A = this chain, B = another copy of it.
Amino acid sequence: MLTIALPKGALLKESIAYFQQVGLNFDALLEPDNRQLQVVSRDGVARALLVRAQDVPVYVQYGQAQLGIVGYDVLREKTPHVAQLADLGFGRCRLSVAVKATSPYRSARDLPPHCRVASKFVRCANAFFQELDVPVDIVPLYGSVELGPLTGMAEAIVDLVSTGRTLKENGLVELEQIFTSTAYLIAHPRSYRLNIAGLGHYVKCLEGYRNRMEGRASA
């Protein structure tokens, strides 16, 4: 049976809508009292696993799911061995460098050498500042990264920004974008090559749907 790893959180609703276009109905996962982590589609041909966004590429890399949807930010940070089939366009946000609005810095290059930068994206942040040739000390955090500058622990943060509301509420301003992120369709490379569980059929249907959507958007 085709197994699809779907991310909890911000991308879930649109991910379910996406698979609905090719007849796979997983909306049981959207019911408010849902506690199930695995559901079979209404027609019984596929199964969805509901997992943390960061775990989606793990299930796909190990072949426990043949397909998955995950943000590009996770792919950049974790660099899993998965096939990136398509940029789905939804869930758009950006990984950005931000500082206190009252700080004197106006670009990432202005940050003082060896200052502290709080981030959940340790690899991406390190790579960005290395490329920039500004040596910084990344403070790895799991949540509420905006507290870093507010408490004085860090001069700057590297975090995902979508509407910018959280930054604003915390008196922070965006200095620079590192990359933009959207939802990606990923596949287990070998399952995709060998067309396991009719994977090729679904990917083709999904591509057809996407092309129609893009056609409509640009018309």
Contacts and interface: CB of A to CB of B under 8 A. Distances in A.
Interface string A37-69: 110000000000111101100110010110000
A58 B147 contact: no
A151 B52 contact: no
A106 to B, nearest CB: 25
A179 to B, nearest CB: 21
Interface in A20-40: 37-38
A207 to B, nearest CB: 26
A195 B114 CA distance: 28
Nearest to A3: B151
Nearest to A145: B55
A44 to B, nearest CB: 18
A150 interface: yes
A144 B55 contact: yes
Nearest to A50: B144
Contacts of A52: 141-144
Contact of A152 (B58, B64, B142, B150): B64
Of A50, A54, A147, A152, most B-chain CB atoms within 10 Å: A147
Contacts of A55: 141-144
Interface string A143-173: 1101100111100000000000000000000
A140 B140 CA distance: 17
16 contacts: A8-B143, A37-B146, A38-B147, A38-B150, A51-B141, A52-B141, A52-B142, A52-B143, A54-B142, A55-B142, A58-B139, A58-B141, A59-B153, A62-B116, A64-B151, A64-B153
Given A38-B151, A52-B143, A64-B151, 9 more contacts: A37-B144, A37-B146, A38-B150, A50-B144, A52-B141, A55-B143, A58-B153, A59-B153, A65-B151
